[in-house]
Amino acid sequence: MNTNTQSEHSTSDDPALGTVVVNLMKGVVYRDLNPDVWQQLEELHARVIDYVAVMGLNLIVDEAEGYAYLKQVSDEERSVPKLIARRPLSFPISLLCVLLRKKMVEQDAGGGEARLILTREQIVEMMRVFLPDRANEARLFDQIDTYINKVAEFGFLKKLNTNPPAWEVRRIIKALVDADWLADFNEKLKVYRDHAESSV
Amino acid sequence: MRTHPSWRLLQADSAPLIISFLYKSFILTNKRSIAAETLATQLDDYLHHLRETTGEKRFPRKGRDYLNDWASGEQGYLRKYYPAASVGDEPLFDLTPSTEKVIEWISGFEQKQFVGTESRLLTVFRLLSEIASDTETDPQQRIDRLEQEKAKLEQEIASLKSGHIMPHDPTRVKEKFLQAEDTARQLLSDFRQVEENFRHLDRDVRERITTASSGKGKMLDDIFSEQDAITESDQGRSFKAFWSWLMSRASQDELQATLEKVLALPEVQSLQHDELLSRIRFRLLEAGEKVNSTCAQLVEQLRRYLDDQAWLENRRIMEIVREIEQSAIAVRQSPPADKLFTTLSLNKPALEMPMSRGLFRPASRPVISETPEEGEADFDTTALYTQHYVDERALLARIRFALQSRPQISLAELVKLHPVEKGLSEVVAYLHIASESDHALVDSDSSEEIIWHDAQGRQKEAVMPVVIFTR
């Protein structure tokens, strides 16, 4: 980075920096979906890092996967109030995240297709093994739909404009549902299982 | 052999349908891939046509269902895939190489104009002698060969100089041209195989890496040696050479100039040939481009997959996921009921600015107290009332287009070629055209049935006098 150009511009009058930061504040920036912003991000990389650091945020750029997002600095010593909240997840929604993450690993190992795309039926099949038996199948479908919508809200699933509609699993799920998170979830579930089995 | 997709396709009950339809859609039009919706519509039309002409009730399902069937794992006649996100979300269909082979073989049933044996023999001979001279290590032998060729060329030049011009043999020209056409067609069809081979290479590399249980150092070694496995394979190199030849301006111009010269020959024009060779440049570019992008995409994905960190993480994830699945099955009938089982830190800062919320504003209830004056139209208001606008010029164009290949066409046939889009008003518009045209005949003595589908997909039909458009 050229330090001269940095001192020439004051932060507030550079529209490109604004564009990049605002896009990041709104969510994940993907190279394939937003090539212009991505390019600006690459050019302004160092300045974006400095800028978001003020708010206690870290810029994470994954070149290989082609996405960038902001992460809360985990440093306990800094007393900046947290901007990124931890979202509570119910058990079935967590489980759906786990299963989608698994699908992504399987897809990567299998090779070939660039995008992981699932139909509603595939997601239902994937989930129903783990849900309590219910006589009412329609209700089960509806319920899984609400889970899907919730996970789509997180940005892990994107509805495709196809007929019938299908869902694309976005690669950002790799960054957030990582091995550590899964290990944590696994522990919690084990504790619950022990508890449930002992109380029977 | 029984498990080979080509064999399975030939054995399939609906093989004639599949093969004829795919031939029509992909081979005749030379499409590399077709959007799912478009292909499904084409198949629906085709099935409709079959039912109409043969009265067969054999294919009751929707085109889309058949296509998905044909593309599903066990059949594998078609490849369904999603393009890169920047292109769009609609899935595409492409032929698999094995299906293309079947189609190619079957189209070979057609009697050839004539089968040239001489030019093939010469090609074989030329290839063999090229190999022999390329691999010759003894310099003297090579020099001898070149001397021989030189003597032959000099002889030819001398005979030309003395005014001896050998007339060319028309049979030989035709024969060579047909062979060139054949080779070009095969070349195009080979591209699907090339793409498939790239995908195979990709899968092989991944499989080897997933099953490798060696230590990290060894694995990294493997990774770096495999990094270029795709581009450095025989397949990759041959394709790269082809592509750089095609991309060079000079060779493109040369190809074009040669083609124009050859296509202008009277012998070639007397042959019944399709426009394949005259457009071969674009076809090659198109096909090559597709292979190129597939290859680039595979290399990119493979690099991502080979990232050692991701690889180790993936292994760990699969182990944990297996444990989670076991526990989840165990607690299946009494899952944790809490709304909050885990938390997830999302990638989006939560901003909520109090000032950006609107302040309370009483809803205004407008009351209309004045009565509007009735105005008078000073323009033609019919446009307001012709709600179902049917473009008669478009219909006329369809009629003209259909009449290019036949002396006359009935309305029913026309509607089969161009399905009715705007319902009854479109049919009426055709009738209107017929009544005003000198080149149309309305035969009220006999009647025919016109069928179309409305916006909800319901079938509608109208029985009306036979309408025939003529040139």
pLDDT digits (tens, 9 = 90+) for B403-442: 888 888 888 888 888 888 777 778 888 888 887 777 787 7
The answer, for B343 touching chain A at a CB cutoff of 8 Å, is yes
Q: Which of B60, B79, B107 is the last residue of a domain?
A: B107
If asked whether residues B174 and B287 sit together in one domain, one would say yes
Q: How far apart are CA B38 and CA B41, in angstroms?
A: 5
pLDDT digits (tens, 9 = 90+) for B211-231: 665 555 565 566 556 556 667
Q: Is B312 part of any domain?
A: yes
Per-residue pLDDT, B383 = 64
B350 by Cβ neighbours in 10 Å (0-12 / 13-18 / 19+) ranks as: exposed
If asked whether residues B177 and B273 sit together in one domain, one would say yes
3-class SS of residue A60: strand
Q: Is B286 part of any domain?
A: yes
Whether A32 and B346 lie within 8 Å, measured CB to CB: no
Q: Which of B85, B107, B129 is the last residue of a domain?
A: B107
Q: Is B300 part of any domain?
A: yes
Whether B341 and A69 lie within 8 Å, measured CB to CB: no
Concatenated DSSP letters of B380-442: -THHHH--S---HHHHHHHHHHHHTSSSEEEHHHHHHHS--SSTHHHHHHHHHHHHH-TTEEE
If asked whether residues B186 and B305 sit together in one domain, one would say yes
Q: Using DSSP bridges, classify how beta strands B440-453 and A157-159 pair: parallel, antiparallel or unpaired.
A: unpaired
pLDDT of A11 above 60: no
Whether B301 and A111 lie within 8 Å, measured CB to CB: yes
Chain A segment 43-72 residues within 8 A of B by beta carbon are 55, 57, 64-65, 69-72
Q: Is B237 part of any domain?
A: yes
Whether A179 and B336 lie within 8 Å, measured CB to CB: no
Q: Which of B82, B206, B324 sits opposite A111 (nearest CB)?
A: B206
If asked whether residues B210 and B307 sit together in one domain, one would say yes
Question: Is residue A165 a contact partner of residue A120, using CB atoms and an 8 Å limit?
Answer: yes
pLDDT along chain B (471 residues), means of 10: 83 86 86 88 88 76 86 80 78 88 85 73 86 84 88 89 80 83 82 82 73 58 60 78 85 86 82 74 83 78 67 83 88 76 75 66 76 75 64 82 83 82 80 79 80 79 83 79
Concatenated DSSP letters of A68-127: EEEEE---SS--PPPSSPEEEE-HHHHHHHHHHHHHHHHHHHH-S-SSEEEEHHHHHHHH
Q: How far apart are CA B455 and CA A47, in angstroms?
A: 54
Taking residues A30-38, report their average pLDDT.
Answer: 89
Alpha-carbon gap: B243 to the closest alpha carbon of chain A (Å) = 22
Tell me the CATH number at B54.
1.10.10
Interface test with A, best of B341, B343, B351, B352 (most A CBs within 10 A): B341
Whether A188 and B314 lie within 8 Å, measured CB to CB: no
Interface test with A, best of B342, B351, B353, B356 (most A CBs within 10 A): B342
If asked whether residues B435 and B317 sit together in one domain, one would say no
Query: How many distinct structural domains can be found in chain B?
Result: 3
The answer, for B378 touching chain A at a CB cutoff of 8 Å, is no
The helix or strand, by DSSP H or E, that contains position B190, with its residue range, turns out to be helix B170-211
Q: Please give the residue of chain B at the shortest CA–CA distance from A34.
A: B86
Chain B segment 227-286 residues within 8 A of A by beta carbon are none
Q: Cβ–Cβ contacts within 10 Å for residue B183, how many?
A: 11
ipTM: 0.79
The helix or strand, by DSSP H or E, that contains position B30, with its residue range, turns out to be none
Q: Is B125 part of any domain?
A: no
If asked whether residues B174 and B319 sit together in one domain, one would say yes
b/e B127-158 (16+ beta carbons within 10 angstroms → b): eeeeeeeeeeeeeeeeeeeeeeeeeeeeeeee
pLDDT digits (tens, 9 = 90+) for A84-117: 777 888 888 899 999 999 998 888 877 667 788 8
Q: Is B309 part of any domain?
A: yes
Q: Which of B205, B316, B346 sits opposite A87 (nearest CB)?
A: B346
Chain B segment 425-454 residues within 8 A of A by beta carbon are none
Q: Which of B312, B329, B346 is the last residue of a domain?
A: B329
Chain A segment 18-37 residues within 8 A of B by beta carbon are 25-28, 30, 32-33, 35
Residue A189 with chain B: CB contacts under 8 Å: 324, 327-328, 331, 336
Per-residue pLDDT, A4 = 45
pLDDT of A67 above 80: yes
Q: Give me the total of CB pairs closer than 8 Å, taking one residue from chain A and one from chain B.
A: 195
If asked whether residues B190 and B305 sit together in one domain, one would say yes
pLDDT digits (tens, 9 = 90+) for A178-187: 888 899 889 8
3-class SS of residue B459: strand
3-class SS of residue B377: coil
Q: Is B146 part of any domain?
A: no
If asked whether residues B102 and B173 sit together in one domain, one would say no
If asked whether residues B320 and B204 sit together in one domain, one would say yes
Cite the beta strand spans of B13-161 per DSSP E.
Answer: 34-35, 78-81, 92-95
Q: Which of B205, B342, B347 sits opposite A185 (nearest CB)?
A: B342
Which among A190, A181, A186, A188 is positioned nearest to A86, based on CA atoms? Answer: A181
Q: Is B128 part of any domain?
A: no
B75 by Cβ neighbours in 10 Å (0-12 / 13-18 / 19+) ranks as: middle
Whether A86 and B344 lie within 8 Å, measured CB to CB: yes
Question: Is residue A126 a contact partner of residue B338, using CB atoms and an 8 Å limit?
Answer: no
The answer, for B37 touching chain A at a CB cutoff of 8 Å, is yes
If asked whether residues B235 and B87 sit together in one domain, one would say no
List CB contacts of A103: < 8 A, sequence separation 6 or more.
Answer: A116, A118, A126, A169
If asked whether residues B325 and B233 sit together in one domain, one would say yes
Residue B307 with chain A: CB contacts under 8 Å: 64
* Domain carrying residue B315: 169-329
Whether A89 and B342 lie within 8 Å, measured CB to CB: yes
Whether A130 and B210 lie within 8 Å, measured CB to CB: no
Q: How far apart are CA B66 and CA B334, in angstroms?
A: 41
